[in-house]
Amino acid sequence: MDQKTLAIVKAGWAMFARYGYAKTTMSDIAGEAGVARQTVYNAFASKEDILRAVMRHAGELSLTEIEAEWEKDLSLAEKLEVFQRLGPQSWYEAILAAPDWGELMDGMNKIGAEELRIMEEKWIASITRLLNRHSDDVAATLPLQEVATFFYTSSKNAKYGVSGVDELRARLATIHQATLALLQI
């Protein structure tokens, strides 16, 4: 991604977070990025394409950040906690910071469904690799990919129905403990 395209993607995230998806215009994004509206259209055919690029970029940044933390000398239990803190908890807090967060979530789920599916596959593969690297420390009775899938999908979906960050943290802690029990560590 070249610098102008990256500036547009970052501006898209800022505008979607500030105004919500529906209220954000291509002109808003161009102004935030400091480029002409035509430059935005040269890089992206539509606002939907920008939202998908924002989701892809944010997902890749998050994956890179968490995998870098996993390289530190931490136990497997600590690495799983890192994922929950820098992943689902951080994502939830970012969405809540958006004034029109419900509408933003709807847009992400409808328009970005394919991006979400692709990122889910990447996350599950990454968590599976993590579990495999620590396979000497676990005595799981389930295949590690199934445990990774459980851990990721449960952690990602823990946000539904919570009343705030504290309740989310409690749910994530329960999922963490359940995952450790599945791994028998």
Residue 18 lies in a domain: no
pLDDT in tens, 141-184: 899 999 999 999 999 999 999 999 999 999 999 999 999 999 99
**Residue 127 located in a structural domain:** yes
* pLDDT reported for residue 121: 98
Q: Which domain holds residue 141?
A: 54-183
Sign (positive or negative) of CA dihedral 156, 74, 148, 130: positive
Asked whether residue 160 is assigned to any structural domain, the reply reads: yes
Residue 62 sits in a domain of what CATH number? 1.10.357.10
pLDDT-derived band at 102 (thresholds 50, 70, 90) equals confident
What whole-number percentage of the chain has pLDDT above 70?
A: 100
So what's the pLDDT on residue 105?
A: 79
Enter the pTM of the model.
0.89
Identify whether 34 is part of a domain: no
Q: How far is CA 170 from CA 42, 97, 178, in A?
A: 45, 20, 12
In three-state secondary structure terms, 98 is: coil
pLDDT at 176: 98
Domain count, the chain: 1
Report if residue 66 sits inside a domain.
yes
- What is the pLDDT at residue 133? 96
Cβ atoms 71, 45 nearer than 8 A: no
Q: Mean of the pLDDT values across residues 93-121?
A: 85
In a domain, 134, yes or no: yes
* Alpha helices for the chain (secondary structure H): 3-19, 26-33, 37-43, 47-70, 76-84, 90-97, 101-111, 113-133, 144-157, 165-183
pLDDT per residue over 21-61, tens digit each? 889 999 999 999 999 999 999 999 999 999 999 999 999 99
101 falls within a domain: yes
| Domain-embedded: residue 170 | yes
